[in-house]
Amino acid sequence: MFKEFIKGLSITFKHLLPGNSTTVQYPKQKLQPSDRFRGLHRLVPAHDREKCVACYLCPTVCPAKCITVESAENEKGEKYPKVYQIDLLRCIFCGYCVEACPVEAIEMTGEYELANYKRENFTFTKERLLK
C-alpha cells in the first residue's frame, strides 16, 4: 500500500519538474495545423479567373447543402460560376466538395479561426473564397 502511495507521489513530482507542461499558450502561440486539416475553403484561381467550371458536383454531394452555385457562360463560351457561395454556419467541414471536384478547383486551407460577430459574415462569396 505504501509503495503505491509513494509511486503516485513520485509521478506527480516528476511532472512538477520544469519542461513537463504540455500547454500551448494559444492566442500568443499557435500550432501549425497538419496538411490534411480541413479548415476554411478556398477556390483555386487559374490565370485570369477561378478554375471552377460550375459543374454542380459540389452542391450535389454536399451533405449539409451549404454550397450555392449559379453557372453562366463567359465571352469565350466557357462555363463559370456566376455565384459561388458557402454558408459556413451550415458547413460541416467534411471535405466531400474537395473530393467531388473534377478540376481541383476547391480546396481546404488550415484556417480555423472562423469566429465572427454577425451572421451575414459567415456567408463566404466567390470573392472571399478566391483570396
Partner 1 sequence: MPEVLSLSNNVPLFLASMLVKILAVFVVVILIVAYATWVERKVIGHMQTRLGPMQTGWHGLLQPIADGLKLFFKEDIIPTEATKVPFVLAPMMILVPAFITIAVVPFGPDVTLFGYTIPLQISDLNVGILYILAMAGLGVYGIVLAGWSSNNKYSLLGGIRSSAQMVSYELAAGLSIIAIFMLSQTLSLRGIVEAQTGPHPLFSFLPNWYILSQPLAFGLFVIGSLAEINRTPFDLPEAETELVSGFCTEYSSMKYALFFMAEYANMVVISAIAATLFLGGWAGPFFGPINLLIKVFAFMFFFIWIRATWPRVRYDQLMYLGWKVFLPLALANIVVTGIVVLGMQ
Contact positions vs partner 1 (CB under 8 A):
5, 8-9, 11-13, 15-16, 20-23, 25
β-bridge partners, 50: 45
Q: Which is nearer to partner 1, 5 or 117 (CB)?
A: 5
Q: Please, what is the minimum distance in Å from the beta carbon of residue 95 to partner 1?
A: 32
Q: Which is nearer to partner 1, 10 or 109 (CB)?
A: 10
Grid cell listed for 129 = 473564397
Q: Which is nearer to partner 1, 9 or 92 (CB)?
A: 9
SS (H, E, C) 8-55: HHHHHHHHHCCCCCCCCCCCCCCCCCCCCCCCCEEECECCCCECCCCC
Q: Please, what is the minimum distance in Å from the beta carbon of residue 13 to partner 1?
A: 7
Q: Please, what is the minimum distance in Å from the beta carbon of residue 114 to partner 1?
A: 24
Q: Please, what is the minimum distance in Å from the beta carbon of residue 11 to partner 1?
A: 8
29/15 Cα distance (integer angstroms): 22
Distances in whole angstroms, Cα of residue 24 to Cα of each of 14, 15, 17, 31, 69 = 20, 16, 17, 8, 40
Q: Which is nearer to partner 1, 17 or 75 (CB)?
A: 17
